[in-house]
Structure 1
């Protein structure tokens, strides 16, 4: 297993698709659940690009919907690893919608997800560290430990209630 640090840009993955009638609700906007599936898919690709292993979704949080995505628009999802721990990786995904007739593009959703690398038996396995190269990447990388602690507290509170 390669443990040499990799740049965030190495994991960057982009997926673009068209929003069809079957992807939309009665408002003519994309179903949130369909978008969540797309987010998970592009994040899996980015996570596997980073660690070169199979991965599983550990959590998705901070899924913030900013504007609706309409039928007939293109939806572009961009995901990349922002930070790593021993076996886990935080990924950031930004979703943009584009009206292909006018060229108007807008940010519609941002999300943070956590993935864990696993071996052939499904056991967590180590991932290489990641380092930022741009100002945006640096900000996301530096703020990741705080998000990690927040997720950790939320899980402890959630599972202590059960």
Structure 2
């Protein structure tokens, strides 16, 4: 079974309240991460027709701060489907409701796994890639997975070669005392 990407896309908007902020009036990153996890869950569950859990989050860079009183919009879309997992692409924007200025606050990729009623992984529908952008996003997800495997293998304690890293570490804010 295959599904179109647009059939499981989700968009939510929420007004940022003082209760979401830190002492300087900026919205806590943790609050935004919570919203991101919720929309990733909704998108993945809609695509798979099953309960989903977050397996991993690939890099969240906070590009612009969000102020109290701004309207935050989160957009989620399935970028990749494996056997039981999906990569959900997320985009977060904030809008100053007085000026209409929109800021891109962050983008991220959540890997979600579909579960049956007994908590076992369950097969997910594949994606129908119907645009160049959807093919690019799917291919980028494959490349990101391959890079992550290569990275984690290189730094496994059984594979790690310390001499390959000492020179670069010496140029950083660290002192080596071996």
The two structures have a TM-score, normalised by structure 1, of 0.90
Q: How many residues align?
A: 158
How far does residue 99 in structure 1 lie from its aligned partner after superposition? 0.6
Residue in structure 2 matched with residue 102 of structure 1 by the alignment = 99
Tell me the SS of whatever aligns to 1:65.
coil
Q: Decide whether aligned partners of structure 1 residues 108 and 11 sit closer, same or farther in structure 2, where only a CA change above 3 A counts.
A: same
Residue in structure 1 matched with residue 175 of structure 2 by the alignment = none
Query: 2-side partners of 1:22 and 1:128: how far apart?
Result: 39
| 4+ residue runs over 3 A deviation | 151-158
Residue in structure 1 matched with residue 76 of structure 2 by the alignment = 79
Residue in structure 2 matched with residue 92 of structure 1 by the alignment = 89
Residue in structure 1 matched with residue 108 of structure 2 by the alignment = 111
Q: Tell me, yes or no, if structure 1 residue 20 matches structure 2 residue 27.
A: no
How far does residue 51 in structure 1 lie from its aligned partner after superposition? 0.6
Q: Tell me, yes or no, if structure 1 residue 141 matches structure 2 residue 138.
A: yes
Tell me the SS of whatever aligns to 1:16.
strand
Cα shift readout 1:34-60 (whole Å, capped 9, x = no counterpart)? 000000000100001101001110001
- Deviating more after overlay: 105-114 vs 126-135: 126-135
Q: Decide whether aligned partners of structure 1 residues 5 and 60 sit closer, same or farther in structure 2, where only a CA change above 3 A counts.
A: same
Tell me the SS of whatever aligns to 2:61.
strand
**Structure having the higher Rg:** 2
| Gap runs ≥5 in structure 1 | none
Higher relative contact order (CA 8 A, sep 6+): 1
How far does residue 22 in structure 1 lie from its aligned partner after superposition? 1.0
Residue in structure 1 matched with residue 124 of structure 2 by the alignment = 127
How far does residue 134 in structure 1 lie from its aligned partner after superposition? 3.5
As a proportion of its length, which structure holds more strand? 1
